[in-house]
Structure formats: C-alpha cells, structure tokens
Amino acid sequence: MAYRGSRLVFAASVLVAAGSIGANLLAHGNVVPQAVDTSALPDIVGGNDTYVIKNPYRADAKVYAIAQKIGESAYGQNCARCHGLEAISGGIAPDLRYLDKGEDGDEWYIQRYHKGSVRDGKVYMPAMGDVLGQKAGWAIRSWLDTKHEE
Ligand code: HEC
C-alpha cells in the first residue's frame, strides 16, 4: 500500500511539473496577439491579401502621427516581449532600431511582420500579419521610425 501511495504522489508531482513547463512555454513561446484598433487609419488597397512594400502612412504628416501613436501601443503589446521595451532589444531577438531607415527598410520589415521567420521547421518569429493585419504592421513601422538609430 505504501508503495502504491508513493507512486501516486510521484505521478502527481510529475503532472504538476509538466503543468508549470506548459505555463512557461505559454508565457515565452506561444504568442497571443493583442488586437490593434486601426480604424483611425486609412485603409490600404489590397487589405490583408496584398501587402504593399512601402509604408503608406509616411507621406502624410497627420496620418503618420496617428500611425505612430497606434504603433507604439501595438508594439508594446505584440512585439516588446521579444524585441524589448521601447524597441531596445535585450538580446532575445534583433534590435529593431537598426532596421534600414525609411523605404529602404520597409520591404524587409513588412515581410518579417507578415510571415515571421521559420527556418528548418523552427519558428524564430511567429507570423503576425494574418492576425494583426497590414494596417497594424505599418503603424508599428511608423513608430519604429521614431526609434531609428544608425
Ligand atoms: C516570440 C518572439 C517574437 C515576437 C513576439 C516578435 N518577434 Fe520579430 N523576431 C523574433 C526573432 C527571434 C527574430 C529573428 C528571426 C531570425 O533570426 O530569423 C525576429 C525578427 C524580426 C524582424 C527582422 C529583424 C532584422 O533585423 O532582420 C522584424 C522586422 C521583426 N522581427 C518585427 C517584429 C514585429 C513588428 C513584431 C510585433 C508585431 C515582432 N517582430 C514580434 C522574435 C519575435
């Protein structure tokens, strides 16, 4: 009886350990995207089906300012956990302040945002585009412009 009892205890503690590993994975690995309200921004022709390769919000100062504000909070909720608060990376993921500036860096940026990064079946960065949408992607890019460093 004593033997069976301790086996049960053992099994239960393994379950608890497995549970906390699961919770850790959830906290660090699996990303739960936070919806971004982009209704204040002009729609992009092509919606979420066709991505443009240049930031459509940069040309109009008023729109650009709105985009930066939306992008700041969208970044904080969806990107900061890996890329760092205020876009200053702690080393887990690339430091996005050093992306190429302006249109030169737009295409690379939006491609990563849209599709994420998967190599040899391993997800380095989850795809964000299909969940958050193209408008949120360019809003975040607009805010990142304000953090750019050479
Ligand atoms: C789960 C962690 C994680 C989250 C969340 C995440 N990223 Fe990433 N991101 C990465 C990693 C890791 C890489 C490097 C990928 C590689 O090495 O291929 C990366 C790469 C990038 C790159 C390319 C950077 C470069 O210098 O080449 C961009 C742009 C980018 N991420 C933007 C974003 C944006 C915008 C968000 C939020 C909407 C975001 N990421 C959310 C982990 C993450």
pLDDT tens-digit series, residues 115-143: 999 999 999 999 999 999 999 999 999 99
pLDDT level of residue 32 (50, 70, 90 thresholds): confident
Please check whether residues 39 and 24 belong to one and the same domain. Answer: no
Please check whether residues 88 and 57 belong to one and the same domain. Answer: yes
Residue 76's CATH number: 1.10.760.10
Q: Read off the pTM.
A: 0.84
What total of structural domains would you count in the chain? 2
Both tokens assigned to 111: 């491609």
With a 6 A CB cut-off, is 111 part of the ligand 1 pocket?
no
CA–CA gap between residue 140 and residue 57 (Å, rounded): 11
Measured in angstroms, how far is the CA atom of residue 11 from the centroid of ligand 1? 39
Residue bearing the CA closest to ligand 1, atom 27? 94
Please check whether residues 25 and 40 belong to one and the same domain. Answer: no
Residues in contact with 123: Cβ distance below 8 Å, sequence separation at least 6, in sequence order: 116, 117
Residue of 51, 112, 130, 142 to mutate, ligand 1, most atoms within 8 A of C-beta: 112
Please check whether residues 73 and 54 belong to one and the same domain. Answer: yes
Residue 11: left if φ>0, alpha if ψ -120 to 50, beta else—which one? Answer: alpha
CA–CA gap between residue 70 and residue 41 (Å, rounded): 9
Scanning 29-116, the segments in alpha helix (DSSP H) are 61-78, 80-83, 102-115
Please check whether residues 56 and 121 belong to one and the same domain. Answer: yes
Please check whether residues 60 and 7 belong to one and the same domain. Answer: no
Please check whether residues 119 and 83 belong to one and the same domain. Answer: yes
Please check whether residues 16 and 57 belong to one and the same domain. Answer: no
Please check whether residues 50 and 5 belong to one and the same domain. Answer: no
Cβ(64)–Cβ(57) under 8 Å? Answer: yes
Cβ(117)–Cβ(125) under 8 Å? Answer: yes
Which residues constitute the domain of residue 120?
A: 34-147
Q: Which DSSP symbol is given to 107?
A: H
Residue 15: per-residue pLDDT: 39
Q: Is a pLDDT exceeding 90 seen at residue 6?
A: no
Residue 41: per-residue pLDDT: 98
Residue 115: left if φ>0, alpha if ψ -120 to 50, beta else—which one? Answer: alpha
CB atoms within 10 A of CB 10: 10
Please check whether residues 25 and 93 belong to one and the same domain. Answer: no
CB atoms within 10 A of CB 97: 17
CA–CA gap between residue 117 and residue 51 (Å, rounded): 17
Residue of 70, 75, 79, 142 to mutate, ligand 1, most atoms within 8 A of C-beta: 79
Please check whether residues 26 and 39 belong to one and the same domain. Answer: no
Please check whether residues 25 and 43 belong to one and the same domain. Answer: no
